[in-house]
């Protein structure tokens, strides 16, 4: 996001990425390749599989970055994105269970039931994947806050919010819904070359999530489908948005009958 914004402002920009692709923990390879191509087309230089050896200064200000390959990059500004570490010290000192964050149950209670935790520091068993996650996003934190408030008020709802994320990178409006780790196949709708497409990710026949580039309708439909527990077949996805909307409507009509049985 910052690289695209600075380049649009007329700056000379180089991205130095330690792993072999951009957005390695966030998106599928096809999205990462697309983002890289769009950035490079604007003149952003991208170095992957490269780290920073040192920074050089001149009169107290940064003057250059020296990479692990020995290349010297003159620089007036360095923006460092190295991730975060959850602040669990207070919880740990209180004897609360820690597991890649503060461990909480489906009502946001910690191992000490009178104490709740939410947001970036909270780790929990996710209903969508069945695995333990710690999501760092505004949406996740606000959804957990609402659920925690209900817990405090005496309700026993289980956390069932559909996770979604977004990023604006130059002319790319990237929207993501669901959690795609563990996927083994995908269906593509739209045209990558037109910078307008969506990737529907599957594990077997189960829809895990959707990554959309400049197709907000697909994103909103995906949130509705995952929220309803509806997993369209790859063949249904291939029919496009109209076919998916019809299939979701049919599912929602039948599902209450199934639940009553």
148: in domain: yes
Which domain CATH number covers 227? 3.30.390.30
80: in domain: no
For position 256, what pLDDT does the model report? 62
Query: Given phi > 0 = left and psi -120 to 50 = alpha, else beta, which region is 59?
Result: left
Which domain CATH number covers 38? 3.50.50.60
- What range defines the domain where residue 203 resides? 164-256
Q: What is the pTM of this model?
A: 0.90
| Cβ–Cβ < 8 Å for 215, 150 | no
| Cβ–Cβ < 8 Å for 107, 159 | yes
For position 254, what pLDDT does the model report? 82
261: in domain: no
The dihedral over CA atoms of 100, 105, 24, 34, expressed in degrees to the nearest 10, equals -160
Q: What is the pLDDT of residues 216-260, one digit of tens each?
A: 999 999 999 999 999 999 999 999 999 999 999 999 988 765 444
Q: What is the pLDDT of residues 203-219, one digit of tens each?
A: 999 999 999 999 999 99
Write down which residue in 101, 117, 152 finishes a domain: 152
Q: Distance between CA 218 and CA 40 in Å, rounded?
A: 26
For position 129, what pLDDT does the model report? 85
**Number of domains making up the chain:** 3
- State mean pLDDT over 11-20: 97
Query: Given phi > 0 = left and psi -120 to 50 = alpha, else beta, which region is 204?
Result: left
Quote the tokens at residue 69.
């390959």
Q: What is the pLDDT of residues 141-182, one digit of tens each?
A: 999 999 999 999 999 999 999 999 999 999 999 999 999 988
Q: What is the pLDDT of residues 111-150, one digit of tens each?
A: 999 999 999 999 999 998 889 999 999 999 999 999 999 9
31 and 66 assigned to the same domain: yes
The pairing of strands 122-125 and 52-58 is unpaired
For position 84, what pLDDT does the model report? 85
96 and 126 assigned to the same domain: yes
């Amino acid at each position: 996001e910052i690289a695209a914004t600075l380049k649009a402002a007329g700056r000379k920009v180089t991205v130095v990425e330690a792993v072999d692709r951009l957005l390695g923990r966030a998106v599928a390879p096809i999205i990462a390749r697309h983002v890289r191509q769009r950035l490079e087309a604007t003149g952003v230089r991208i170095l992957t599989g490269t780290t920073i050896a040192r920074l050089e200064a001149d009169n107290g200000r940064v003057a250059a970055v020296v990479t692990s390959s020995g290349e010297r990059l003159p620089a007036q500004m360095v923006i460092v994105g190295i991730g975060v570490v959850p602040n669990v010290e207070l919880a740990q000192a209180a004897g609360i269970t820690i597991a890649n964050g503060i461990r909480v149950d489906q009502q946001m209670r910690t191992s000490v039931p009178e104490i709740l935790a939410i947001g970036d520091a909270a780790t929990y068993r996710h209903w969508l994947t069945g695995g333990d996650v710690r999501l760092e996003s505004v949406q996740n934190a606000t959804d957990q806050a609402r659920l925690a408030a209900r817990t405090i008020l005496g309700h026993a709802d289980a956390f069932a919010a559909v996770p979604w994320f977004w990023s604006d990178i130059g002319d790319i409006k990237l929207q993501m819904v669901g959690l795609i780790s563990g996927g083994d196949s995908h269906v593509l709708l739209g045209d990558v070359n037109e910078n307008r497409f969506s990737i529907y990710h599957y594990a077997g026949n189960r829809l895990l999530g959707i990554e959309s580039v400049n197709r907000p309708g697909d994103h909103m439909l995906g949130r509705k489908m995952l929220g309803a527990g509806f997993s369209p077949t790859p063949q249904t996805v291939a029919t496009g948005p109209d076919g998916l909307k019809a299939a979701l409507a049919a599912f929602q009509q039948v599902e209450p009958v199934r639940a009553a049985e």
